[in-house]
């Protein structure tokens, strides 16, 4: 087994995932920590990383590279966004040193909608990791969707992120489910009700009006109240899938890359299939590790 070489961390809003990587790229140890930046007080990140994360993985003296929301104003230190287009080499050149042997990956900034900028922090690392997992992916054009609280639709050309759009689908679902007339504690895993929501979304237009059907189908249409979360999920995901790619000037004729949590990607694949689009799902965690490994190990050789 190779000796430990560095510590890689994907440090997000709710969770921290850490890996000890050997000199040959092999993962020697890994662990999850409930230390997302939303759980940290001001200035806590550095101390908790040194006192909790490093000792737990016997990685006190290893160089470390971190990505995700730890580079935001809620994390260790705010690291400036890089403008798009951008590739992995741009990230490497802009790595921010925040402590001895600790570097943070910058996020990306691009042209958004309605004249406003758009930003991402963490998803870019997964995207570049996905590209590095297969050399052929760095050629040509790809449309990638990263589902989540703030879903990202990302246009990639020849290994560089050229533009992206964020959809607050996951957060909107959570808010409506907890704080509106659609509130419900029922599960959201009913495929039939999800499909009904997809059908109701149609082309994604007039979403505010279509949302009310999640209530009226119960109060006047005889649908079970317990089906509301699944229907609402289908309605929101369906509207996103039908409308957001158009904001990037692309259609769904080409296969869509789904990158991230397997369960979330499953629902997006179902929505895409209903529109006649094909998709393939890839593990976001493995992609993040691939990019962090490339940034650390290849950077040491340059």
What is the Cα–Cα distance from 181 to 16, expressed in whole angstroms? 34
Residue extents of the structural domains in the chain:
119-286
Full-model pTM: 0.95
| pLDDT at residue 276, rounded to an integer | 96
Average the pLDDT over 234-260 and give the result: 96
With 60 as the cut, is the pLDDT of residue 301 above it? no
**What's the confidence (pLDDT) of residue 169?**
97
The predicted pLDDT at position 244 comes to 97
Q: Look at residue 302 and tell me whether its pLDDT is greater than 50.
A: no
Cβ within 8 Å of residue 61, ≥6 positions away: 101
pLDDT in tens, 126-158: 999 999 999 999 999 999 999 999 999 999 999
pLDDT recorded at residue 296? 94
Residue 1 is predicted with a pLDDT of: 57
Residue 224 has a pLDDT of 97
**Cβ atoms 53, 92 nearer than 8 A:** no
Q: Return the percentage of the chain with pLDDT > 70, whole number.
A: 98
Please report, for residues 56, 182, 216, 221, 222, the alpha-carbon distance to residue 225 in angstroms, rounded to integers and kept in the order given. Answer: 45, 9, 10, 11, 9
- The radius of gyration of the chain from alpha carbons, rounded to an integer in Å, stands at 20
Is domain 119-286 given the CATH code 3.30.70.141 in the classification? no
The arithmetic mean of pLDDT across residues 58-67, rounded, is: 97
pLDDT 10s digits, 194-239 = 999 999 999 999 999 999 999 999 999 999 999 999 999 999 999 9
Closest CA to 285 of 92, 30, 37, 7: 30
Instruction: Quote the pLDDT of residue 300.
Output: 56
Residue 222 region by backbone torsions, left for phi larger than 0, else alpha for psi between -120 and 50, else beta: left
């Amino acid at each position: 087994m190779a000796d430990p070489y560095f510590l890689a961390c994907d440090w997000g809003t709710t969770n921290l995932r850490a890996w000890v990587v050997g000199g040959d790229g092999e993962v020697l140890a890994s662990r999850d920590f409930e230390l997302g930046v939303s759980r940290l007080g001001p200035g806590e990140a550095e101390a908790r990383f040194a006192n909790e994360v490093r000792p737990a993985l016997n990685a006190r003296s290893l160089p470390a590279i971190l990505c995700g929301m730890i580079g935001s104003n809620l994390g260790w230190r705010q690291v400036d966004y890089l403008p798009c287009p951008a590739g992995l080499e741009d990230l490497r050149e802009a790595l921010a040193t925040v402590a001895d042997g600790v570097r943070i990956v910058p996020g990306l900034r691009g042209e958004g909608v309605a004249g406003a900028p758009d930003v991402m922090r963490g998803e870019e690392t997964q995207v570049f990791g996905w590209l590095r997992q297969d050399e052929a992916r760095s050629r040509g054009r790809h449309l990638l969707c990263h589902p989540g609280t703030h879903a990202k639709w990302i246009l990639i050309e020849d290994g560089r992120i050229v533009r992206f759009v964020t959809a607050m689908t996951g957060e909107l679902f959570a808010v409506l489910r907890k704080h509106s007339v659609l509130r419900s504690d029922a599960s959201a895993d009913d495929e039939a009700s999800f499909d009904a929501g997809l059908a109701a979304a149609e082309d994604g237009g007039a979403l505010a009006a279509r949302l009310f059907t999640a209530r009226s189908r119960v109060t006047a249409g005889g649908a079970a109240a317990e089906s509301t979360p699944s229907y609402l999920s289908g309605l929101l995901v369906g509207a996103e899938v039908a409308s957001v790619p158009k904001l990037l000037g692309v259609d769904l004729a080409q296969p869509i890359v789904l990158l991230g949590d397997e369960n979330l990607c499953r629902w997006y694949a179902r929505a895409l299939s209903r529109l006649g689009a094909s998709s393939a799902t890839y593990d976001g965690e493995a992609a993040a590790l691939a990019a962090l490994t490339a940034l650390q190990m290849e950077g040491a050789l340059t």
